[in-house]
Amino acid sequence: MILLKNIKELFLTEESTPEFLKGESMNQINSIENAFLIIDGETIADFGSMSALSESNFDAEFDCTNKYVLPSFVDSHSHIVYAGTREGEFVDKINGLSYEEIAAKGGGILNSAKKLRKASENELFEQSMIRAKEVITTGTGALEIKSGYGLSVESEMKMLRVIQRIKEESDLSIKATFLGAHAYPNEYKNDKRAYLDLIINEMIPNIAQENLADYIDVFCESNYFSVEETIEIMEAGREFGLIPKIHVNQFTSIGGIEACVNHGALSVDHLEVLTDEDIEALKMGSTIPTILPACSLFIDIPYGPGKKLIENELGFALATDYNPGSSPCGNMQLVMSLACIKMKISPNAALNASTINGAYAMNLENELGTITKGKLANLIITKEIPSIGFIPYSFGTNDVDTVILKGRMQ
Ligand code: NIG
Ligand code: FE
C-alpha cells in the first residue's frame, strides 16, 4: 500500500459516483484540506483528513506538503493515431484559408489519410505512442482515440489495432472509436453510396468481430456526412454493439444533434455552432455534450457555448480533440484555460468537465473522474501552486508534478 500524506487539499472527493454534472452543480467541487490518500494496488483504498489517518504500515509514503491532489484528466475525444503532421496547412491557415478551403485543395483529413495509408502498423504505433506518453505528462489518465484517417477496410483496422496496442502498453485507460465516416476517400468521391456500403457491410462487421472498437463516430457536417447518412451509420453500428459518439455542429447546425439524442448517442462533440433548437434537443436525452476549445483556438472558429449550456441546466465535458489538422495539442490544462477565458466558465466547472463529466463521455464514471474508494488510483499531484484555480489561470504552464495511473508513478 502507498500513502500520500499531508496533501494541502484533495479535490473531487465523493462517497459515490455523482450524476453527470449539469447546471449549477458544475460549479461545485468537494474537497478535504490537509488530507491523506491510500492506494492499494491499482485502486484508491481510502482517503480522509490527516487527523483521521490510523494505519501506519505502508510500502511507500509520499509527502505532498504544499501540493494538491486531484483525479487525472479524462480526455474523451482525440485522434492521436496519425502519421506525419500538417504544418504546411498551418501556414495556409495563417494566410487566410479556411478549414474547408484547405480540405478542398487536397489538405485536411484526406492529406492525413494519404500519409497514414503509407505508414506501417509499427511506424504508426511508434509515432502515436509518443503522443500517448506526452499527454500523461500534462495530467491525462484516460483517453478516447478515434480511427478515421484510414478510410479503407485495411487502414481503418490498422489504426484500431494500433489503439489496442497503446491500450496494452500504457497505463492510460483507453476507449477506441471507429470513425470510418470521417470523410469520403478520393476513390469513392463519385460513388458515395459505395463508401457507405463499405462502412456498413465490411468495416463495421470486421471491426466488431475483432472487438476493435467501443464506439462509432461520424463527421456529421455540411460537405461531409448528412444527418440521414449519420443515422444510417449509427443504426448499423448499434447492431454490432457500437455506441454512437458523434462529431456534429462544428461549422453548421443541420439537425444532427436531435438525431444523435434520439439514437441514444453517448456524446455529441464540437458544438461550436449551437442553435436554441439544438439546446432543446439536448434537454430531451442523456447524451453528453463535449466541447473542444483547443480546436476553436487553432482553426479560429467560435467556442462552444459552455456558459449557455450551464444556464440551461445542461452539463458538458471538455476534451482536446488532439489531431494533426484542427488541434495539434493534447494538453487538458490548456483546454481548461481556454474554456475559462473564452467560454466564460468557472475554474471549478472546467475541472468538473475535464474529470467526472469526461469520464461519463467514456462510460468510465464508475472507474474514474472522482476521488472515490474503489476507483482507479489515477491521480495528479500538482506542483507547489497557490490554489486549484491557478491551473487554468497559469495558461501554457504545466502545473503537474507527478502523475499516478493505476497506482503506478508515471
Ligand atoms: O475533430 N472535424 C473533424 N475531425 C477532426 C479534424 C480532423 C482533421 O482535420 O484531421 C476534428 O476537428
Ligand atoms: Fe475530432
Select from 78, 79, 178 the residue to mutate for testing ligand 1; criterion: most ligand atoms less than 8 Å from CB: 79
At which residue does the C-alpha cell 490527516 appear? Answer: 50
Q: Whose CA is nearest to atom 11 of ligand 1?
A: 326
What residue spans define the domains of the chain? 2-73+370-409, 75-360
- What pLDDT digit, counting tens, does each position of 84-97 carry? 999 999 999 999 99
Residues 272-288: tens digit of each pLDDT: 999 999 999 999 999 99
Q: In what order do the strands lie in the sheet with 267-270?
A: 73-75, 140-146, 173-181, 215-220, 243-248, 267-270, 288-291, 317-318
- Quote the ligand 1 centre to 51 CA distance (angstroms): 50
CA-103 nearest atom, ligand 1: 9
Choose one of 81, 326, 327, 335 to mutate for the ligand 1 pocket test, by most ligand atoms within 8 angstroms of C-beta.
326
Residue 303 is classified by DSSP as P
Nearest CA to ligand 1 atom 1: 321
Alpha-carbon distance 141 to 135, whole Å? 8
Fold of domain 2-73+370-409: Urease, subunit C; domain 1 (2.30.40)
Which pLDDT value is given to residue 56?
81
Binding pocket residue ranges, ligand 1, CB within 6 Å: 108-109, 112, 219, 247, 250, 295, 321, 323-326
C-alpha angle 77/156/270, rounded to 5°?
25
Q: What is the pLDDT of residue 199?
A: 98
Task: Kindly report the pTM of this predicted structure.
Answer: 0.97
Q: How far is CA 15 from the centre of its chain?
A: 25
* CA distances, 374 to each of 44, 69, 149 (Å): 5, 17, 37
Note the pLDDT of residue 99. 84
Ligand minimally distant from the alpha carbon of residue 248 = 1
How confident is the model at residue 19, as a pLDDT?
84
Sign of the C-alpha dihedral, residues 366, 371, 373, 375?
Answer: positive
For residues 219 and 199, is the Cβ–Cβ distance under 8 A?
no
Decide: 349 and 357 in contact? Cβ < 8 Å: no
Q: What is the topology classification, in CATH, of domain 75-360?
A: TIM Barrel (3.20.20)
Cα 113 to ligand 1 centroid, rounded to whole Å: 12
Ligand 1 center to 325 CA (angstroms): 6
- Report the b/e string of 310-321 with b at 16+ CB within 10 A: bebebbbbbbbb
Question: Which residues of the chain fall below pLDDT 50?
Answer: none
Structure confidence at residue 106 (pLDDT) = 86
* Dihedral of alpha carbons 409, 14, 385, 397, sign: positive
The DSSP secondary-structure symbol of 380 reads E
